[in-house]
Amino acid sequence: MTDIVDTLAIRKYTAAGHHESHYHVAEKLAHVHLAPRQPVTYGPSGRFEHDHPLSNLLHKNETWAKSVVDCSCDFFERGALGQRPEVLWLGCADSRVPECEILQLAPGDVFTHRNIANVVVNTDLNCLSVIQYAVDVLKVKHIIVCGHYGCGGVAAALGEHSYGLIDHWLLNIKNVKQQHIKGLDDLADEEEKCRALVELNARQSVLNVAKSPILRAAWERGQEVDVTGLVYDIKTGLLGELGYHISSLTDLADHEETGSSVLFTGKP
Q: How many helices (H) and strands (E) does the chain have?
A: 13, 5
How far apart CA 194 and CA 200 sit, in angstroms, is 10
Helix axes 249-257, 213-220, angle to 10 degrees: 130
73 is annotated as contributing to ligand binding: no
Is 47 one of the catalytic residues? no
Active-site hit among 71, 92, 127, 146: 92
Is 94 one of the catalytic residues? yes
Residue 54 buriedness (CB in 10 A; 0-12 / 13-18 / 19+): exposed
Active-site hit among 151, 180, 194, 255: 151
Active-site hit among 94, 127, 180, 194: 94
148 is annotated as contributing to ligand binding: yes
**Region label for 215, one of left (φ > 0), alpha (ψ between -120 and 50) or beta (otherwise):** alpha
92 is annotated as contributing to ligand binding: yes
Active-site hit among 11, 24, 52, 96: 96
Is 194 one of the catalytic residues? no
Active-site hit among 113, 148, 195, 203: 148
CB 36 within 8 A of CB 56: no
151 is annotated as contributing to ligand binding: yes
Is 151 one of the catalytic residues? yes
Is 84 one of the catalytic residues? no
How far apart CA 108 and CA 76 sit, in angstroms, is 10
Query: Beta-strand (E) ranges in 136-246?
Result: 142-148, 226-233, 238-246
Cβ-proximal residues to 224 (8 Å cutoff; 6+ apart), any chain: 141, 247
Residues tagged active-site? 92, 94, 96, 148, 151
- Binding site listing for Zn(2+): 92, 94, 148, 151
- Binding site listing: 92, 94, 148, 151
